[in-house]
């Protein structure tokens, strides 16, 4: 069944309960499906699809950007070049790059970057920085001190003064060059 309203809108009703509204401009279309889903096509060809069961909105813009908004507050942006940006409910932002790298920015300012080889760099808001690789974990302090823990458990601490202290896996000092 089709109805034409005085304002120029067209309403089309389908037997399964789905109905379609075409705006008087002929470019704005809203389809309300029998299951509660709603699809809107805007004049600029932006498509907004609301999934009723999942309470999720999926917006596709004419430039190829896709934005998904979930009921828990999570928002995902899928860019045409393949990059993805996810904003979690706690406001943590995770960027997934096309080359396999990842970056997470936490609400406290901590930034974690993961490379394709699995190595990880963590930048803390207090100025400290950590590097995790398959061979070691290294923490760099703002004063220039660098502490490295190797996979075999050995630890090496280099101080700004030039002092170097090495410990075995049990914490026993093997070397300490006190300056």
* Confidence (pLDDT) at 54: 95
> pLDDT tens, position by position, for the chain (179 residues)?
888 889 889 999 999 999 999 998 889 999 999 999 999 999 999 999 999 999 999 999 999 999 999 999 999 999 999 999 999 999 999 999 999 999 999 999 999 999 999 999 999 999 999 999 999 999 999 999 999 999 999 999 999 999 999 999 999 999 999 76
CA angle, 142 then 143 then 146, to 5°: 85
Distance in angstroms (rounded) separating the CA atoms of residues 59 and 39: 10
Q: Which two tokens stand for residue 176?
A: 């300490």
Q: pTM, whole model, 2 decimals?
A: 0.81
Distance in angstroms (rounded) separating the CA atoms of residues 84 and 80: 9
* Confidence (pLDDT) at 98: 95
């Amino acid at each position: 069944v089709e109805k034409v309203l005085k304002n120029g809108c067209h309403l089309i009703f389908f037997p399964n309960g789905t109905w379609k509204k075409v705006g008087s401009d002929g470019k704005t279309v809203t389809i309300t499906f029998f299951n509660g889903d709603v699809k809107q096509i805007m004049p600029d060809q932006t498509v907004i699809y609301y999934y009723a069961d999942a309470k999720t909105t999926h917006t596709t813009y004419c430039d190829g950007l896709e934005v998904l908004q979930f009921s828990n507050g999570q928002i995902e942006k899928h860019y045409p070049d393949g990059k993805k940006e996810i904003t979690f409910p706690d406001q943590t932002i995770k960027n997934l790059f096309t080359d396999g790298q990842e970056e997470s920015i936490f609400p406290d300012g901590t930034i974690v970057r993961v490379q394709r080889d699995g190595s990880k760099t963590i930048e803390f808001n207090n100025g400290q920085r950590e590097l995790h690789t398959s061979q070691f974990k290294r923490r760099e302090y703002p004063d220039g001190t660098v502490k490295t823990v190797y996979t075999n458990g050995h630890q090496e601490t280099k101080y700004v003064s030039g002092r170097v202290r090495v410990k075995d896996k049990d914490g026993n000092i093997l070397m300490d060059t006190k300056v």
